[in-house]
Amino acid sequence: MKTLTLSAWIALFHVLVVFIPAQAKDEVVRLSYPSKVESSKGKEREKLFSPWMTSESMRSFVDDKRTKGEQIVFFEYNNSNGQSRAIFVSKLKLSGPMSRWSFTNEQVMEEKLNNEMKAGLQPAFIARNLSGAYSMLFVSPGDLDAVRTELKALGVGEPRLKK
């Protein structure tokens, strides 16, 4: 009788072990590979960047540019001084929502990637600069092709997502 009870407990344990990971897989987790940023177009990009500025100044600058009909398409964050710089284009008009983020931690960046994609936005680029900071721009699916066309001209490739 003791052997049967022990066998039943072992069988129940194995069933639980098999089903618990299956439930955890329901949550979508995407790992990303940053966009390739071509060094051959670095001099062209460098001429287009805004000056380095604080996060608060950059927010105001982005708003000012938007009122003038210019849209941010690429930016960098320097985690050593906490400043950002950006590239804007005037021929791009976004029809949907967008968001931009900078992180110094890869895990936090991946969490934001998942959250933004769950909210319906797509990553236009994910870049990691020399200071180790990640920068990401998210746009609506309807705007993605137009934004990526602008990024391609700047030598910024698509991020690769691993499901």
Classify residue 136 by its DSSP letter.
E
- Give residue 149's pLDDT: 95
Q: Which residue has the tokens 């030598």?
A: 155
Reported as a pLDDT band with limits 50, 70 and 90, residue 23 is: very low
Percent of the chain with pLDDT over 70: 81
DSSP bridge partners of 71 = 89
Contact 132, 104 (CB under 8 A): yes
Sheet holding 71-78, edge to edge: 53-54, 83-89, 71-78
Query: pTM above the 0.85 mark?
Result: no
Burial status of residue 65 (CB atoms within 10 A of its CB: 0-12, 13-18, 19 or more): middle
**Which residue, 115, 61, 54, is CA-closest to 88?**
61
